[in-house]
Amino acid sequence: MQTSSSSPSEGAEYAGWRREPRILTQVLDAVSALNSQLLDALGDSARSDAAEFPLHESLRGRVARLTLEERRRAARCGVFLADANFVDFSCWSEVVLQGESALSVQPLVPWLPIEESRSLSQSALLVAWYLIQASPAVARVLLGMSASGVAAYRELGVGDLAQIARCRPDCVRPRWPHRLDVWAQLIEDAIRAEAQASRSTTLRCLEVSAGDLKWLSAYVEPFA
C-alpha cells in the first residue's frame, strides 16, 4: 500500500514557515510550555503512591527525581509529548454532542487528581488547537496526527475543547506510554545537560513522531 505524499499546499506551508522563524519559535515555545506542564504532572504522579503512573513502571523513580531544570530541558524536545487520542480525534465529537452521557469512548484509569487532570487536558487541547490553526502541516508532524484527525479537530471550537476537558479529563496522557526506549533517552539526556544530548533527543523525538505520521498516512488515510 502506498503512502500518501505531501500536497503542494502543504509544501508551500512548510516553505512559508521557513521564511517566518518567529512564528516557528512561538509554536515551539507553546509546545515546550505544554510539555513542561505534562512533565510536572508526571513528576507528581511518580511521587504519589496512590496515583496510577502512566509510563513504564521502571521509569517512576527516575521521573520522580527529575529536577525542575531537568524537566524544562526535556520539555524542549521539539514535539508534543501529550496525547489525547489524536490518531482519531473524531471520536470526541460524540462527547461534544452528548456531554457526559457519551459512553462509546471508554474512560481510562485516572493518573492525576481531577483538578490537575482538567487543567492539563484543557492546556493540551488548546495548544494542539493553536498548532493546527497556525499550520495543519507542521502540526501533523509535531502531533503525529492524520489529516482526517486534523480535519475533525478543526471542526471543533474552543468551547467544544473545554467541554471535552471538563467531561473527559482522563483523555490526555503522555505519548508513547509503552516506548521505554524513547522516554528513557528523554530523561537521561535531560539529566546529562549537554548540547549534543539535547540535539539527540530532538532528533529521536522527531523521528518517532514522524514515524507515527508515516504509519498513519499509509494505513489510516486511504480509509478516511
Gap between the Cα atoms of 184 and 155, Å rounded: 36
Higher pLDDT, 77 or 12: 77
C-alpha distances in angstroms, 14 versus 24, 141, 196, 210? 10, 11, 26, 15
33 strand-pairing partners: none
Average pLDDT over residues 182-191: 95
Average pLDDT over residues 20-36: 86
- Sign of the alpha-carbon dihedral angle for 199, 200, 205, 206: positive
Gap between the Cα atoms of 157 and 94, Å rounded: 14
pLDDT at 99: 63
Q: Return the domain boundaries, the chain.
A: 8-223
Do the beta carbons of residue 149 and residue 88 sit within 8 Å?
A: yes
Q: How many CA atoms lie within 13 A of 24 on its CB side?
A: 15
Average pLDDT over residues 30-54: 93
Gap between the Cα atoms of 162 and 125, Å rounded: 8
Q: Residue 145 region, left (φ>0) first, then alpha (ψ -120 to 50), else beta?
A: beta
pLDDT at 31: 95
C-alpha distances in angstroms, 27 versus 21, 67, 106? 10, 25, 32
Gap between the Cα atoms of 149 and 224, Å rounded: 9
What digits encode the pLDDT tens for the residues 107-166? 678 899 999 999 999 999 999 999 998 888 888 888 888 888 888 888 889 999 998 898
Do the beta carbons of residue 193 and residue 73 sit within 8 Å?
A: yes
What digits encode the pLDDT tens for the residues 53-91? 999 999 999 999 999 999 999 999 989 999 988 876 766
What is the average pLDDT score of the chain?
81
Gap between the Cα atoms of 31 and 38, Å rounded: 11
Gap between the Cα atoms of 86 and 128, Å rounded: 9
